């Protein structure tokens, strides 16, 4: 959760998405932060008793967006058109961008451009009240879970790029504990609710096995 990062790194890639204080979703976020503090990530990701799954997924998706935003914000100086002319996660995996609306046909682009497209697209989804309603009593749309899955699948690619192409910089900045904790939390969450296909996780499968094996 975002509290892990304190105020040491205030640089974010995109503006932080805030959950309105006093709202039910804010209470859920506080619950998640308190549970995370216990150190048991398997427990922390479970749906709290009596809560709505859509709302729980929504709150956590916003939080993962904020975390990745901060993590990527710390390494933007190292992720440039020159250093990363393609959006990749190691030599075997390359990502081309399409959002189905503005860019219908997948395009090859540099990693910073791809991540800019991706984070802007995610932000647009999170800001859409018909998709992510913040008011109590406003129902989630029928396609909410499929939208959330697409968001999480795409956010995973930012983690994959950071680990494969910029882990040396992360170590240099002494951010590896933050990155590992954030990614482990993310993986436990998507595993708990089966939100990302296993094949999509392939670029980091070895790391996932390592991070999750101690907690089985």
Binding site for Zn(2+): which residues? 79, 84, 161, 166
Phi, psi at 137, each rounded to 5°: 90, -15
Rounded to whole angstroms, the Cα distance separating 28 from 9 reads: 24
Is the four-CA dihedral 152, 157, 162, 164 of positive or negative sign?
positive
Overall size of the chain counted in residues: 216
Do residues 51 and 25 touch, judged by C-beta distance below 8 A? Answer: no
Task: Give the other-Cβ count within 10 Å of 11's Cβ.
Answer: 11
Binding site: residue ranges? Answer: 79, 84, 161, 166
């Amino acid at each position: 959760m975002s509290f892990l990062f304190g105020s040491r790194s205030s640089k974010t890639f995109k503006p932080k998405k805030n959950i309105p204080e006093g709202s039910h979703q804010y209470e859920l976020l506080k619950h998640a932060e308190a549970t995370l503090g216990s150190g048991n990530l398997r427990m922390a990701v479970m749906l709290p008793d009596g809560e709505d799954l859509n709302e729980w997924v929504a709150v956590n998706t916003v939080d993962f967006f904020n975390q990745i935003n901060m993590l990527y914000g710390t390494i933007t100086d190292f992720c440039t058109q020159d250093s990363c002319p393609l959006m990749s996660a190691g030599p075997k995996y390359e990502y081309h961008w399409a959002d189905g609306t503005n860019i219908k046909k997948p395009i090859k682009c540099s990693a910073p451009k791809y991540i800019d497209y991706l984070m802007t697209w995610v932000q647009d989804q999170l800001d859409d009240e018909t998709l992510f309603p913040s008011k109590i009593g406003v129902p989630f749309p029928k396609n909410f879970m499929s939208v959330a899955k697409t968001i999480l699948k795409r956010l995973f690619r930012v983690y994959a790029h950071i680990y494969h192409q910029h882990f040396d910089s992360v170590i240099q900045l002494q951010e590896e504990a933050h990155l590992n904790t954030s990614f482990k939390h993310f993986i436990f969450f998507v595993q708990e609710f089966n939100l990302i296909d296993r094949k999509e996780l392939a670029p980091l499968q070895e790391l996932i096995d390592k991070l999750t094996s101690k907690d089985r």
